[in-house]
């Protein structure tokens, strides 16, 4: 039986004889059902019309995206460390090109995902790399649409990973919204892999924070303060957002602080 993939959000569901009646991820107010109604695809269908795009973001960091873009259009990031590689966030497509390149770089020791919109085909990626554990924050467990033994739920505010990496629960966009701190990034000054928990905006001198991006639902200032406080103890000079080229190249920690101040001014006018 196939595993249906929602065309709008890219989430892969458990095997069923027929596609599910709806996608709970898209029914949620943070997302939306496609304008032409609920539509489904499969991994096999995606492979017929799409390919993975592999791009080195900086030494030790590989971006993995899809052309042409599908669903939300995010790209994953492979963080390479001597203690093993971590796949940060995920995409719906997995093809031989991606498997081959990632294998050349040492495979995947663990997968960590920032929030449910990027769960996508995480189980497929895990199975392609020796059932690599998938680390998800327990606060978002209701959004797992394809349960699998490889999924490990973690609790609390931080989770240390091999290679000096840290998962940091920020909340905000989702209760378990998580970012990844990579101390070796940005030539040792530290990098934050933020998905859209901390969103790199079009003016890449700034970031922003939202409950729903497509539906433009803001977060309360107090919630934004908690997001900023969660990352404050960590040193980072660069932020990688969820899409290719959505990068704050330098002075990223100061960017987060001044962006939070601007956000509060805007929503309290």
Cα separation, 242 vs 112, in Å, equals 14
How many residues in the chain? 269
Across the chain, mean pLDDT equals 97
How would residue 220 be classed by pLDDT, with cut points 50, 70 and 90? Answer: very high
Q: Would you state the pLDDT for residue 3? A: 97
Q: Would you state the pLDDT for residue 269? A: 84
Angle between helix axes 221-231 and 252-267 (nearest 10 degrees) is 170
Rounded mean pLDDT, 231-239: 98
pTM of the model: 0.97
Q: What is the CATH number of domain 3-267?
A: 3.60.15.10
* Contact indicator for 234, 227 with CB cutoff of 8 Å: no
Residue 80 has pLDDT above 90, yes or no: yes
Cα separation, 185 vs 229, in Å, equals 21
Q: Would you state the pLDDT for residue 32? A: 98
DSSP state of 224: H
The answer, yes or no, to whether the previous bond of 68 is cis (omega within 30 of 0) is yes
Rounded mean pLDDT, 32-57: 97
Q: Would you state the pLDDT for residue 1? A: 83
Q: Would you state the pLDDT for residue 19? A: 95
Cα separation, 148 vs 39, in Å, equals 24
The dihedral over CA atoms of 100, 105, 106, 107, expressed in degrees to the nearest 10, equals -50
């Amino acid at each position: 039986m196939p595993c249906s993939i929602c065309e709008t959000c890219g989430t892969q569901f458990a095997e069923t004889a027929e596609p599910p009646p709806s996608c709970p991820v898209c029914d949620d107010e943070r997302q939306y059902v496609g304008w032409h109604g609920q539509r489904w695809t499969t991994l096999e269908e995606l492979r017929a019309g799409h390919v993975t795009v592999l791009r080195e973001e900086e030494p030790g960091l590989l971006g993995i995206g899809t052309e042409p873009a599908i669903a939300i259009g995010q790209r994953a990031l492979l963080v390479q460390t001597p203690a093993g590689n971590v796949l940060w966030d995920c995409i719906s497509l997995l093809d031989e090109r991606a498997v081959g390149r990632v294998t050349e770089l040492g495979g995947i020791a663990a997968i960590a995902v920032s929030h449910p919109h990027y769960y996508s085909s995480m189980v497929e990626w895990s199975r392609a790399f020796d059932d690599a554990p998938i680390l998800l924050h327990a606060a978002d467990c209701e959004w797992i649409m394809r349960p699998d033994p490889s999924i490990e739920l973690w609790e609390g505010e931080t989770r240390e990973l091999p290679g000096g990496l840290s998962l940091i629960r920020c909340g905000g966009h989702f209760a378990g919204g998580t970012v990844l701190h990579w101390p070796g990034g940005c030539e040792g000054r530290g990098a934050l892999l933020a998905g859209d928990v901390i969103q790199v905006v079009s003016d890449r001198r700034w970031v922003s924070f939202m409950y729903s991006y497509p539906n433009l639902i803001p977060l309360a200032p107090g919630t934004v303060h908690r997001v900023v406080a969660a990352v404050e103890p960590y040193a980072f000079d660069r932020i990688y957002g969820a899409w290719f080229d959505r990068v704050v190249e330098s002075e990223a920690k100061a960017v987060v602080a001044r962006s939070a101040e601007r956000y509060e001014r805007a929503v309290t006018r």
